[in-house]
Chains A and B, each alone.
Chain A
Amino acid sequence: MSYDVIKPIVVLLSLIIAGLIFGLRVYQLLWVNLRRGQPSNPFGQWSERIKGLIVFVGAQLRLFRFPIPGIAHFFIFWGFMLLSLTILQAIIEGLLAFMKPNFVLPLIGNFGPLALIQDLFILFVAIAVVYGLYVRLITNPERYKGSHKSEGVMVLFFILTIMVSLLVMNGIRINLGEDPIQYWRPISLNVGRLFTGLNERGQIIIGEVAYWIHLGIVLAFLTELPGGKHFHVVTALPAVFLRDLEPPGRLPPTPEFNGDFGVSAVEKFRWRQMLDFYTCTECGRCQEVCPAYNSGSALSPKLLMMSLRDNLMERGEALSAHSSNNVDKPAILERSLVGEIITDEILWACTSCLACDQECPLFIEHVTPIVDMRRHLVIEGRLDTQLQDALSNLSRYGNSFGQSERMRAKWTQPLQPKIRDARREAVEYLWFVGDYASYSASINDITCTTAEVFQTADLDFGILYDAERNSGNDVRRVGEEGLFEMLAEKNSMALSKCTFKTIVTTDPHSYNTIKNEYPINGNGHYSVLHYSELLDRLISSGQLKFSKQLGYKVTYHDPCYLGRYNGVYDAPRRVIEATGCELIEMPRNRDRAFCCGAGGGRIWMEEGEVKERPSESRIREAAELDGISTFVVACPKDLTMYRDAVKTTGQEDRLVVKDLIELVHEAL
């Protein structure tokens, strides 16, 4: 049999084998496993989703947040897209070898400009791959800690080999005169020049060897990729396409309580979440920005995703084997997901700051699975005593401080005139004060200052006095759904009896849940403003006028629940500028702002061993800015955490922490 007959047979067989392996694995992983998962929300908003594909997959937008790796991946991705045509061509050429040598794809096969772009991209991809190898082998940054480095290196070598073999194939073809548009392939041309010393037969052999290497590695890669860090090649598009378009501050609704809540085993996740687990590329960007990870805790969002993915695959395999063969229950099925594979400690370490979700190029949700698993821990009663106390207090008194509801408005006593009671009179703005602003003695003065500013601006406002309860935002993030519902019900009941236009609050956590989550549980739809937004409006409308310009050099910390969660970045900055302060941005600012560590219920939990508290890291970051005297915050928990951190880092002579309202008050 001649080579030209063997070749198509081998190509066909390889395709079939590789195809089967790939197909069966994808079937098991994406069909069988995902079917065991829970239903996912209806999707909708298709035009928004298509736009997302263009921006986030096509333009690879989020990847550029880490600029150089972003550029490298951009080229690898587009190289993959463009050069997939050459792979297709190679396969068909192989299959038709017995009848049509030198097959090229119709229309585009000999289109010069495309050939040029492809040729250039082979070079760019090769450079990007070499860069990738350099980073993994020489630099080895922290964010790769825990990732499957050898797998990554192997695949990079695969890609490099595919590129090189393609150049060789093209180059030989050019040498043999079989390429009509050879001058459109300058790089291939020059690679071909390396072989001109050989005779024709030699070159043909080299060409065929390159072909087999090329095809072989491509098919090997194909069979390797399901279930590993490169599975994203298959799942990235559907993942980005089907990403959650709800506001991030809105946790998915919970099913009816039937004895258990949340996720205790991987099948209890929604299938859409399972898709996320597969899509993780182990890039570690999430880990890099995670305050829990950086403080030395057990949590890494990346490692969490990897554990969930591995568990999904192992359990899926075991369940399939077990049910079909009736073998003894495999050991993996005995291991609990929540507790053994993912420890309680890992789950409780999260501050729900959303930096991970924000950073992930593929929109993988890390916080939602954590909350889902926490819900199970809460039902099981697996909480540390400090958290237990906080929840018991919230349940009994409606605040985490363990003080009576009747003390909630005690801070108003020294104020004249008395603040209007929104329960009795209609007001324009209902000021939802929040637990910390009301009960924490160390920041009561700020609350009073806020009231003074509102009064100076002639604002028509009132408060709920004793009827207010904790908004429930962090209760929900801790996983205590029942308690969240109870608090939301009580607040909504109180609000429904009042007449007002807008709710304003100084607490971004309350802001988030009242705005995004209260409407979902049938708890009423409200217009909600953060006080920075309100101040911004009052200043620009002239209702609030400043008598002096402060001239301080300040920096500003974007609260997680105001910035990342709700996109409010500019209003507070405008307010700072309006008071005549010069704002120097934190190195990590806006959606990269580094969490103070109090969110997600962490402020209610025992601290545990820490390498460096997130709040201290942030203060040190601020202290390195030249000439800054003031650290401006816009959240009562930030105020508490950072005042503490300034003391513990010994920066009292260097920095003072001020709430935004203090600047405003001073400038009046």
Chain B
Amino acid sequence: MNILVLIKLVPDLVEELTIDAGGTTLDMTWLRLIINELDDHAIEEAILLKERGEASVTIVAPDVEGVDDVLFTAAAKGADRLIKLTGNFTEQVNNHALARAFTSIIKDLNPDLVLTGVQAHDDLDGSVGPLVAGYMGMPYVGYVSRISLSSETATVHKEYPGGVIAVMEVKLPTVMGIQAAEQPPRYVAVSKVRQAMKTATIEERTVDELDLSGGVTVSRMFQPEISERATMIEGDEEQVSARLIEIFREAGVL
């Protein structure tokens, strides 16, 4: 069983985000890139599947700052193969371009299962998983939180709101968008990662051209207004209640 995990790195929201001078993209100067959290779950799910049965896990990532560390950490967790896509991967590459780049690897490696995080917080033109499925003509199920494999099919738990789960059966090969691995991503000791840096190798594949079509042009990027303190709601309990009801509605809760 050949499992492929597609991962990408996203801006770390711990740092303050700023818009660049052009006003349409993020300023990359102080940005730190970290692995997309749900891709980390995808790696974990893949390793769990490997631990349960005969499977080999390959991780594929675009070559951006910090990707080596991420790949070696995956190796320390048990990933068998690490592939880095080199090319003009500035962080402004959109998901369509990334998905197209991933399809070339998928065509080469012919995996049974392709896992990736169901979304990332910097997604602006859709999500990588279903895009890849669309380009490859493979089936796709998203919001998956449990997978069990047999030779031809996968049975998955698909999450709906309110704790409802739909059990779906999918024919392999398929792409899946992971919402949560069956256990939280494991901790891997720094010593093990350092050792992986010595023993594991990262294969490089060049991607010649990146086709960025598929997104929608951003005319303006901006930050929402942040108020320093809470907006105080005045009035007696009737008036305050009424205003709170409005707020609940705006939040989509009523």
- CB contacts (< 8 Å) of A259 on chain B: these are 195
Q: Does B243 interact with chain A (Cβ within 8 Å)?
A: no
Q: Give which listed residue, B30, B32, B191, B194, contacts A379 with CB less than 8 A.
A: B191
Nearest to A483 among chain B residues (CB) is B190
Q: Does A395 interact with chain B (Cβ within 8 Å)?
A: yes
Contact B15 A482 (CB under 8 A): no
Q: Give which listed residue, B16, B184, B186, B190, contacts A482 with CB less than 8 A.
A: B190
Contact B14 A480 (CB under 8 A): no
Nearest to A395 among chain B residues (CB) is B190
Stretch at the interface among A117-125, A188-196, A228-236, A381-389: A381-389
Q: Does B189 interact with chain A (Cβ within 8 Å)?
A: yes
Q: Give which listed residue, B15, B32, B187, B190, contacts A486 with CB less than 8 A.
A: B190
Contact A379 B189 (CB under 8 A): yes
- CB contacts (< 8 Å) of A335 on chain B: these are none
Stretch at the interface among A357-365, A396-404, A430-438, A493-501: A396-404
- CB contacts (< 8 Å) of B184 on chain A: these are 385, 388
Nearest to B199 among chain A residues (CB) is A259
- Complex Cα distance A610/B179, Å? 34
Q: Does A261 interact with chain B (Cβ within 8 Å)?
A: yes
Give the contact-size bracket for chain B. Answer: 10 to 19
Contact B34 A396 (CB under 8 A): yes
Interface residues of B in 18-48 (CB under 8 A from A): 30, 32, 34
Question: What is the CB-to-nearest-CB distance from B18 to chain A, in angstroms, rounded to a whole number?
Answer: 13
Nearest to A392 among chain B residues (CB) is B187
> Which of A259, A381, A385 has the largest count of B CB atoms less than 10 A from its CB?
A381
Contact B14 A482 (CB under 8 A): no
Q: Does B188 interact with chain A (Cβ within 8 Å)?
A: yes
Interface residues of A in 448-483 (CB under 8 A from B): 480-483
- Complex Cα distance A565/B193, Å? 32
- CB contacts (< 8 Å) of B187 on chain A: these are 378, 381, 383, 388, 391-392
Question: What is the CB-to-nearest-CB distance from A393 to chain B, in angstroms, rounded to a whole number?
Answer: 9
Interface residues of B in 114-164 (CB under 8 A from A): none
Contact A378 B34 (CB under 8 A): no
- CB contacts (< 8 Å) of A381 on chain B: these are 186-189
- CB contacts (< 8 Å) of B186 on chain A: these are 381
- CB contacts (< 8 Å) of B189 on chain A: these are 261, 378-379, 381, 480-483
A-B contact count (CB 8 A): 47
Contact A404 B15 (CB under 8 A): yes
Nearest to B14 among chain A residues (CB) is A404
Question: What is the CB-to-nearest-CB distance from A334 to chain B, in angstroms, rounded to a whole number?
Answer: 21
Contact B191 A402 (CB under 8 A): no
Q: Does A46 interact with chain B (Cβ within 8 Å)?
A: no
- Complex Cα distance A378/B76, Å? 13
Report B171-204 CB contacts with A as 1/0, cut-off 8 Å. Answer: 0000000000000101111111111000000000
Q: Does A201 interact with chain B (Cβ within 8 Å)?
A: no
Contact B34 A379 (CB under 8 A): no
Question: What is the CB-to-nearest-CB distance from A666 to chain B, in angstroms, rounded to a whole number?
Answer: 30
- Complex Cα distance A392/B188, Å? 9
Instruction: Say whether, besides A381-B187, A392-B187, A482 and B34 are in contact (CB < 8 Å).
Output: no
Q: Does A611 interact with chain B (Cβ within 8 Å)?
A: no
Instruction: Say whether, besides A259-B195, A385-B184, A402 and B14 are in contact (CB < 8 Å).
Output: yes
Question: What is the CB-to-nearest-CB distance from B43 to chain A, in angstroms, rounded to a whole number?
Answer: 14
Q: Does A257 interact with chain B (Cβ within 8 Å)?
A: yes
Q: Does A406 interact with chain B (Cβ within 8 Å)?
A: yes
Contact A397 B191 (CB under 8 A): no
Nearest to A378 among chain B residues (CB) is B189
Interface residues of A in 389-420 (CB under 8 A from B): 391-392, 395-397, 402-404, 406
Q: Give which listed residue, A257, A383, A404, contacts B194 with CB less than 8 A.
A: A257
Contact B188 A480 (CB under 8 A): no
- CB contacts (< 8 Å) of B188 on chain A: these are 381
> Which of B15, B32, B188, B190 has the largest count of A CB atoms less than 10 A from its CB?
B190
Q: Give which listed residue, B15, B30, B191, contacts A481 with CB less than 8 A.
A: B191
Which residues of B are in contact with A by a Cβ distance under 8 Å?
Answer: 14-16, 30, 32, 34, 184, 186-195
List 27 interface pairs A-B (beta carbons < 8 Å), by A numbering. Answer: A257-B191, A257-B194, A257-B195, A261-B189, A261-B191, A379-B192, A381-B189, A383-B187, A388-B184, A391-B187, A395-B190, A396-B34, A397-B14, A402-B14, A403-B14, A404-B15, A404-B32, A406-B15, A480-B189, A481-B189, A481-B191, A482-B190, A482-B191, A482-B192, A482-B193, A483-B189, A483-B190
The 6 closest A-B pairs by CB, nearest first: A482-B190, A482-B191, A388-B187, A483-B190, A257-B191, A381-B186
